[in-house]
Amino acid sequence: MILVLLGPPGVGKGTQASRISLHYGIPHISTGAMFRDAVARGTEFGRRIQRYRIDKGEYVPDDVVIEAVRQRIHEPDCATGFLLDGFPRTIPQAETLNRFLAEEKLRLNAVLNLAAPIDDIVKRFSGRRVCPVDNATYHIEYNPPLQPGLCDECGAQLEQRPDDDPVIVKRRLDVYNEKTAPLVDYYETSGLLRTVDASREPETVFGQIVALLEGWQWHI
């Protein structure tokens, strides 16, 4: 099964992606997480990514993102499918994904568009805390860790993402509206888009996603 998760920053793509990945046994590929990890590890790729100022909400150029995704989806764990979170994010990225899949005789099964009111999204940003070690994501109110400020999985001190600063959030939302929102129409036209009400609590949102995927008229 090959899935794309679409939706504005902070809507809950990563939260749902973890559940979908576990439920269907497919790898969760988040381009944002790949970039943050490379920057944190200080690799050559990470130093290159740093120049594009993702910490300020700017997009990485299409050719760089595309090459990173191309390499990742050729890894063995992607042989039975994968879940893309945060890619494609522009029309050229979507067109390249189509080409990749056609070359491999693969097919995109569904694009899940997570949608929620902007006020909900802003609250999700302000309370988000992430684990710098294993990327686990929490929310101080909606999904708190068992011990305040500490990761349930590894005990590391939770942090705020630098791009969750309110000024940068505004920029990210603007960039999303300009460059990524057009993908909703793009995938609507291709008949692959299903919109999910992401304003509900995480388990309810996940239930909607599973119901959508199970009810879909295609072979998983």
Residue 35 partner contact from Mg ion, ligand AP5, none using kind-dependent CB cut-offs of 5 to 8 Å: ligand AP5
What token pair was written down for 147?
């011990």
Residue of 13, 124, 129, 194 marked active site:
13
Nearest-approach distance from CB 99 to Mg ion, in angstroms = 25
- Of 36, 124, 129, 161, the active-site residue reads 161
Q: In whole angstroms, what is the distance from residue 191 CA to residue 105 CA?
A: 19
**14 versus 145: smaller Cβ distance to Mg ion:** 14
* CB-based closest residue to ligand AP5: 32
What residues have CB less than 8 Å from 72, skipping those under 6 apart? Answer: 29, 34, 78
User: Among candidates 177, 217, 212, which has minimal Cα distance to 11?
Assistant: 177
Tokens matching residue 110: 């569904």
Mark residues 6-35: x for contact with Mg ion by CB under 5 A, - for none: --------x---------------------
Residue reference for tokens 């600063």: 165
Token reading at 51: 């120049």
Please tell me the count of residues contacting ligand AP5 according to CB under 6 A. 36
**172 flagged as catalytic:** yes
Site for ligand AP5 in 135-174 (CB under 6 A): 137-139, 142-143, 172
Nearest-angstrom CA–CA distance, 186 and 86: 16
Closest CA to 13 of 136, 113, 127, 81: 113
Amino acid symbol at 157 = Q
Q: Which residues bind Mg ion (CB under 5 A)?
A: 14
Which residues are catalytically annotated?
A: 13, 89, 128, 161, 172
Q: Which residues bind ligand AP5 (CB under 6 A)?
A: 7, 9-15, 30-33, 35, 54, 57-60, 65, 86-87, 89, 93, 124, 127-128, 137-139, 142-143, 172, 198, 201-202, 205
